[in-house]
Amino acid sequence: MIRVENLFVKYGSLCAVSGVSLAIKDGEAFGIIGRNGAGKTTLIEAMEGLRKRTSGKIDINGIDPSDSRKKEELYRMISVQLQSTNYPDKAKVGDLCKLFGAFYNNTIDYRELLKKFGLLEKFNKPVSSLSGGQKQKLSILLALISRPKIVFLDELTTGLDADARHELWKYLKELKSDGVTIILVSHYMDDVEMICDRIGVMSNGQLIHVGTRDELTNASGLARRVTFTCSADILTLITDMPGVVRAECIGDQYTVVACDENFPEKCADYFDNRNILYKDFVVSRPTLEDVFLRLINENNGGDLNG
Amino acid sequence: MGKTLSLFMFELKLFFKNITNLIFVLFFPSSMILLFGSVFGNEPSEMFGGYGTIDVSVPAYICMIAAVTGLMSLPITLCTYRQNKVLKRLRATTLSPLNIIGTQFAVNFAMTVIGIGLLIIIALAVFHFQLMGSVVVVALLSALVICCVFSIGLLIASVFKNAKTATAIANIIYFPMIFLSGATIPIELMPEAVQKGANILPLTHAVNVLKSAWLNKPFAEYSVSFFILLAIFVVCSLLSVICFKWE
């Protein structure tokens, strides 16, 4: 169980985390999304014991991460993958794995992990021979060697290609089914959507919403996303339609997000009545990104669209 | 294998993969001894107060080796690790902060000792030189010199956060220091003004202390230098502890 109560982290006069409270259950996968500078990394680094808090409480399975006497116990239980760690170029992949293995008892066989991540043939190769994606995989792999109960992953899939991301999602789902708690910070909505049970939305140092994907969608008030192609310039027309929250047009590809469930039908009728020609009319639920943008903008008090 | 020992071996391996380190710690000092020894021999020389070239060069080169590991390798590694978030990542393991920094210190210390060992073996084998002072005193003073130079390196690593800046600063401090302090070229060859000015360099005092102990001179003759080294060590260590940042 992880509990954060009324957490504040200040850098001088800047308040990076401002009054965050949060509870994460054992075995849960929790995602934190937010714009750059929203305070996501600061929040999890305070939870990881890597950043001093200004005030508030943090409890990681009964341990206060700022308690230096409990440091060993803490880092046997949790593991971290930091945003952009560059391991020494000349170090061999295998040596790094052995090194991190030596820090803990009861570790996973790193050869097995390397195999799983497709890095076994790199065992005797230096870090400099890895691609960006492989380096990222290595960084995640090193966080898993200790059989942690809680894993913190910061910007998990940065630099990974589509295949590697899908592979990683699969692996993290396995990890989750083994009962490992996962805390994930990401810019990529699909990472969070694929892996996380609950999602926290951060803005300006505050956790403005917490919930499942569906709960967040409900909170945003968004109901439908419609995409279609149309060669006429009808963006202003659409933007002015009732229920439209966001409309954008790139080339002849329109995307409309609306808070009215019946918007697709109304929209189609509207086009038919005015003899507007359109095709590839696709209706779906709002994406997490739609929801996220809506929640963030509402919180900023703006009617900024997107 | 213990976790600190594992980190030590890992870092030692990396040290041996760094060509610049190897050249300046192992190859360069030994080559200098061979070069100057073959030119001047180890006959008593008037310029060195009746001692041989090798006799006065070995203690000076010990300081040169300590300067490479302490002023270059140690701070540059630490700053690079800080910039690449390796320090931060290591901190999020079961290692204590003392383990992490102490291992860097220990690896460079060990390499300094290896460099000194190689130098002495070559000097002994080729030139029949002798240690005139006490082995224990020279060993202890060598340890003081290494600690003092390393504390300056730690301070550089603490004050300059960026690896590029730290490298530049390390170079700016290192090169004048090894050439003007007598660590590379005997200070007796320098003009008198330079000899006097060199007294502001910590390494000059390191060379003076080791050379004097090596030649078995009375402590009174080098006590000022000894206390200057001790003071530098204490002040730089304290300042680094205060200023050190993990990221």
Identify all chain A residues contacting B14, using CB atoms and an 8 Å cutoff: 88, 90-91
* Whole-number pLDDT of residue B1: 61
B20 touches chain A (CB under 8 A): no
Burial class (CB within 10 angstroms; exposed 0-12, middle 13-18, buried 19+) of B38: exposed
Choose among A50, A76, A100: nearest Cβ to B88.
A50
Give the best residue of B3, B89, B98 to mutate against chain A (max A CB count within 10 A). Answer: B89
User: What average pLDDT score do residues A237-255 get?
Assistant: 93
User: What average pLDDT score do residues B58-78 get?
Assistant: 94
* Whole-number pLDDT of residue A29: 97
* Whole-number pLDDT of residue A122: 96
**CA pair distance B21, B25, nearest whole angstrom:** 6
Cβ of A99 within 8 Å of Cβ of B6? The answer is yes
Residue A303 reports pLDDT greater than 70: no
Q: Nearest residue on chain B to A81, judged by CA atoms?
A: B89
Shortest Cα–Cα distance, A135 to chain B (Å): 13
Shortest Cα–Cα distance, B222 to chain A (Å): 42
Cβ of B10 within 8 Å of Cβ of A72? The answer is no
Q: Look up residue A200 and give its two tokens.
A: 């926290």
Cβ of B94 within 8 Å of Cβ of A82? The answer is no
Alpha helices in chain B (DSSP H): 3-16, 19-22, 28-40, 53-67, 74-83, 86-91, 97-127, 135-159, 163-180, 192-197, 202-214, 219-243
List of residues 6+ apart from A28 with CB closer than 8 A: A181, A182, A197, A198
**CA pair distance B172, A237, nearest whole angstrom:** 67
What pLDDT, in 10s, does the model give residues B228-237?
999 999 999 9
- Structural domain span for residue B71: 2-243
Residue A171 reports pLDDT greater than 90: no
Look at chain B and report how many structural domains it folds into. 1
Cβ of B93 within 8 Å of Cβ of A103? The answer is yes
Shortest Cα–Cα distance, B13 to chain A (Å): 8
* Whole-number pLDDT of residue A305: 44
Identify all chain B residues contacting A76, using CB atoms and an 8 Å cutoff: 94
Interface list for A 75-104 with B (CB within 8 A): 75-76, 79-80, 82-88, 90-91, 95-96, 98-100, 102-104
Write down the residue that tokens 């330079």 correspond to.
B194
DSSP three-state, residue A81: strand
Shortest Cα–Cα distance, B225 to chain A (Å): 38
Strand residue runs (E) in A40-167: 55-60, 78-81, 150-154
The sheet with strand A279-284 has its strands ordered as A244-250, A253-258, A224-229, A279-284
Cβ of B85 within 8 Å of Cβ of A84? The answer is yes
**CA pair distance A264, A226, nearest whole angstrom:** 7
What pLDDT, in 10s, does the model give residues A20-31?
999 999 999 999
User: Could you tell me the end-to-end alpha-carbon distance of chain B, in angstroms, rounded to an integer?
Assistant: 29
A72 touches chain B (CB under 8 A): yes
What pLDDT, in 10s, does the model give residues A83-110?
889 999 999 999 999 999 999 998 999 9
Task: Please name which of B86, B203, B197 lies closest in space to residue A87, comparing C-alpha atoms.
Answer: B86
* Whole-number pLDDT of residue A56: 96
Shortest Cα–Cα distance, B177 to chain A (Å): 29
Lowest model confidence (mean pLDDT) among A136-150, A252-266, B46-60, B77-91: B46-60
DSSP A285: P
Helix (H) or strand (E) holding A299: helix A288-299
Share of chain B above pLDDT 90, in %: 70
Write down the residue that tokens 């009375």 correspond to.
B218
**CA pair distance B192, B194, nearest whole angstrom:** 5
Residue B187 reports pLDDT greater than 90: no
Residue B83 reports pLDDT greater than 60: yes
CB pairs < 8 Å spanning A and B: 64
B216 touches chain A (CB under 8 A): no
Residue A304 reports pLDDT greater than 60: no
Alpha helices in A18-85 (DSSP H): 40-47, 71-77
DSSP B45: B
Question: Which ipTM value was assigned to this complex?
Answer: 0.89
B7 touches chain A (CB under 8 A): yes
pTM of the predicted protein model: 0.89
A63 touches chain B (CB under 8 A): no
User: Do residues B215 and B56 touch, judged by C-beta distance below 8 A?
Assistant: yes
| B160-183: burial string, b at 16+ Cβ within 10 Å, e else | beebeebbebbeebbeebbebbbb
Residue A306 reports pLDDT greater than 70: no
Cβ of B14 within 8 Å of Cβ of A82? The answer is no
User: What average pLDDT score do residues B31-39 get?
Assistant: 88
B128 touches chain A (CB under 8 A): no
| Per-residue pLDDT band at B127 (split at 50, 70, 90) | confident
Identify all chain B residues contacting A80, using CB atoms and an 8 Å cutoff: 89, 92
Residue B199 reports pLDDT greater than 70: yes
Share of chain A above pLDDT 90, in %: 82
Write down the residue that tokens 């708690």 correspond to.
A181
Tell me the average pLDDT of chain B.
Answer: 92
Q: Look up residue B23 and give its two tokens.
A: 């050249």
A157 touches chain B (CB under 8 A): no
Burial class (CB within 10 angstroms; exposed 0-12, middle 13-18, buried 19+) of A174: exposed
